[in-house]
């Protein structure tokens, strides 16, 4: 799948599930629950142990699901993630060097930004999507204020998004959302309520479908 196809799918599906784990033994079951709940875009964060292996194995098991790498803080992480099969990159901050790697290997980049200056710099750096993070701190009114001068930017809201507020974020005009705990719950070191994870995924996807 080329960059345009990946980006189109991300923008079409609009829900990105963020997987950040302390132990990866539960990862296959957790991924299965999220995907069976209807989610088709996954992000493994780089501070998840063996995240490169999880990207590679998930892509093999679920070829129709887009799998990306998050918390990409430097060029080495970016290159390693792409080498493991990451189909898109996500950063928590503006990082021109990571954007250059994404462009070199022709993969979409979702770049974290918070202030107007950061949004502008992310766009100049070539971000395909602006990740408003942490979105919950200043909320929807802040997003709307940012969208006025940056009306050509494609925003994803990340941080504090769940089934209770996702409809409000879409109503405000975001192009998508990244959801971590709102899908997986808090869990413990190596345990999650897997049935609840599945239900959370289904609920969020049903809300998203109802808004299409």
Residues known to be catalytic: 43, 131
Dihedrals phi, psi of 67, to nearest 5 degrees: -125, 120
Residue pointed to by tokens 């069976």: 36
d(CA 187, CA 93): 26
Is the preceding peptide bond at 39 cis, omega within 30 degrees of 0? no
Burial of 211 (0-12, 13-18, 19+ CB in 10 A): exposed
Distance of CA 163 to the CA centre of its chain: 16
Q: Which residues contact 202 (CB under 8 A, 6 or more apart)?
A: 37, 38
Q: Which two tokens stand for residue 164?
A: 């209770």
Is the preceding peptide bond at 5 cis, omega within 30 degrees of 0? no
Q: Which two tokens stand for residue 7?
A: 């980006």
d(CA 51, CA 43): 10
Q: Which residues contact 40 (CB under 8 A, 6 or more apart)?
A: 9, 13, 64, 65, 66
């Amino acid at each position: 799948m080329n960059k345009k196809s990946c980006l189109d799918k991300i923008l079409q599906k609009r829900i990105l599930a963020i997987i950040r784990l302390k132990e990866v033994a539960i990862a296959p079951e957790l991924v299965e629950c999220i995907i069976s709940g209807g989610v088709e875009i996954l992000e493994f964060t780089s501070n998840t142990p063996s995240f490169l292996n999880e990207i590679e194995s998930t892509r093999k098991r679920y070829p129709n699901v887009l799998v990306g790498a998050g918390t990409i803080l430097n060029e080495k992480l970016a290159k390693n993630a792409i080498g493991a099969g990451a189909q898109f990159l996500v950063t928590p901050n503006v990082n021109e060097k990571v954007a250059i790697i994404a462009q070199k290997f022709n993969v979409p980049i979702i770049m974290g930004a918070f202030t107007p200056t950061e949004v502008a710099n992310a766009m100049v750096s070539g971000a395909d999507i602006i990740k408003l993070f942490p979105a919950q701190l200043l909320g929807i009114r802040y997003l709307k204020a940012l969208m006025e001068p940056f009306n050509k930017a494609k925003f994803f809201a990340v941080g504090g998004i769940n089934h209770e507020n996702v409809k409000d974020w879409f109503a405000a005009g975001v192009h998508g959302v990244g959801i971590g705990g709102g899908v997986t719950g808090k869990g413990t070191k190596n345990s999650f309520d897997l049935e609840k994870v599945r239900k959370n995924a289904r609920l969020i996807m049903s809300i998203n479908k109802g808004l299409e």
